[in-house]
Amino acid sequence: MANVTRKIGLSLGADLCWPKCYEEILDRMNLEVTHAGDKIRFEISRVTIEPYSLSQHCDYDVVIDRLTHWYHTSREWIKKSILMDGLYVYNNPWSLQSMEKQTTYCAMMKLGLPVPETWMVPPKSYAPHSDLDVTLERYAQMFDLGTIGETIGYPLFMKPYDGGAWKGVSRIDDVDALRSTYEKSGTLLMHLQKSVEGFDRFVRCIGIGPQFLLISYDPAAPLHARYEMKLDFVNDDEKSLLEDMAMTINSFFGWDFNSCESLHHNGIWHPIDFANACPDSQVTSLHYFFPWLVMANIRWSTFCAATRKKMKMCLDWDPYWRIMEQNLPYRERLSAYAAIGHQRMETDRFREYCDRNLTHLEEQTREFFGTDLAKQTIRRKVAALFPEHEVESFTEHFWERIQRWRNDLSPQTSF
């Protein structure tokens, strides 16, 4: 039996709270796992930004990536390391780079998911380009924005086709608001999407590997209050459906870590926003659910490192199309899509790994979140986001919610 060290890198931007908690809990656990006859330990470090040779070896086995969606230097280093060194990374960087919300809507509509009616409209204005005028003169068709609004129906939402952090999202109630908002949209390429009116539940499903957490969500609330501390807002069948939906989306696009938003109306869960492959991971928004995220990251990252899970560089959509062509009933079809994801995520192997090596993780996490260090970590994040006069009160607010999690042990989760 060999003694082996696996290296996990954290590729970070402004993240403060979850990396510190992740590192501290792993350090306190002094984790040693067994796999394929080896005793495996883990070394955690932060990924730095610096010049590199394309032939330079990458020492990491796994990288938890929080920069690829916007920071090109790290993105290109990660792509190099996958190709040259067999690095495993959250999430597939080529997919993350190319799959904006437009693509995700089209793909999931093709698979039969009930995405609300969505249109794309040309931008109101354009950045200068040498061929712009002649292109528009020859090919741009005049259109009546009001007619499109009537076709979709009000209310609707105008939002950028590539999205992100609710930037540029507007609710439109009538044709005057539609025209006014479009006039102010500048160079943004916009979707118009039918609003799901009268919905009774708004759910975010966070997925990390084959682990899923459903959270009741209120987008109208301040950021620190959007995740609601409800635990029994879906039944077992709905929970299974939403998890299968998230697994379908995540495995289709090669995303280990993503969140999917759905609205429930008249017995149907409508997915409305599910290209969030660098989701909010901060204690100042997740509060009660924050320890779950830290534990899920520990489980999935150490599993991928210990088993040397292979990165799926090329997206293979044919198995999904073959299921779609069978014209199965929706629920049966969604389960079949999700089964592809569970195979790709190696869910059974993952469960076996956790049962064998990580039975003490929840208790270690519970103990850590009762320490002064955990509270100091929360305070650092609060201080980075809130005005000075609110730091103490919000630190206590988030601390109290995590203590409530400790008393409840943990929210319901699936993996």
Overall size of the chain counted in residues: 415
d(CA 197, CA 154): 9
Single-letter code of the amino acid located at 383 = A
**pLDDT score at 161:** 87
Structure tokens at 92: 């597939």
pLDDT over 70 at 115, yes or no? yes
DSSP track, 123-189: -SS----TTHHHHHHHHPPP--HHHHHHHH-SSEEEEESS--TTTT-EEE-SHHHHHHHHHT-TT--
Q: Is 73 helix (H, G, I), strand (E, B) or coil?
A: helix
Measured CA to CA in angstroms, residue 337 lies from 26, 99, 346, 386 at distances of 34, 19, 14, 42
**pLDDT score at 1:** 76
Q: What is the pTM of this model?
A: 0.94
Q: How confident is the model at residue 164 (pLDDT cuts 50, 70, 90)?
A: low
Question: What is the per-residue pLDDT across 144-153, written as a single tens digit (0 to 9) for each?
Answer: 999 999 999 9
**pLDDT score at 219:** 87
Mean pLDDT of 197-219: 96
d(CA 190, CA 256): 27
Query: For the chain, which domains are there?
Result: 117-194 (3.30.1490.20)
Structure tokens at 263: 């609205």
d(CA 244, CA 237): 11
pLDDT over 60 at 324, yes or no? yes
Neighbouring-strand partners of residue 213: 206
**pLDDT score at 223:** 87
Nearest to 274 by CA among 262, 266, 284: 262
Question: Under a CB-based contact definition with an 8 Å cutoff, are residues 105 and 115 in contact?
Answer: yes
pLDDT over 80 at 163, yes or no? no
Q: How confident is the model at residue 220 (pLDDT cuts 50, 70, 90)?
A: confident
Q: Is 406 helix (H, G, I), strand (E, B) or coil?
A: helix
**pLDDT score at 253:** 96
CA dihedral 396, 397, 400, 405 (to 10 degrees): -140
pLDDT over 60 at 4, yes or no? yes
Helices marked H in 226-317:
236-253, 283-286, 290-306
Question: What is the per-residue pLDDT across 225-275, written as a single tens digit (0 to 9) for each?
Answer: 999 999 899 999 999 999 999 999 999 999 999 999 999 999 999 999 999
Distance of CA 159 to the CA centre of its chain: 19
Question: What is the per-residue pLDDT across 8-36, written as a single tens digit (0 to 9) for each?
Answer: 999 999 999 999 999 999 999 999 999 88
Q: If you average pLDDT over every residue of the chain, what do you get?
A: 94
**pLDDT score at 231:** 87
Percent of the chain with pLDDT over 90: 91
**pLDDT score at 165:** 63
Single-letter code of the amino acid located at 400 = E
Long-range own/partner contacts, residues 104-112 (CB < 8 A, 24 or more apart): 104/249, 104/253, 104/274, 104/275, 105/191, 107/252, 107/253, 107/317, 108/248, 108/249, 108/252, 108/271, 108/274, 110/324, 111/248, 111/252, 111/320, 111/324, 111/333, 111/337, 112/324, 112/330, 112/333
State the number of CA atoms in the 13 A half-sphere of 414 facing the CB: 18
Q: How confident is the model at residue 415 (pLDDT cuts 50, 70, 90)?
A: low
**pLDDT score at 166:** 67
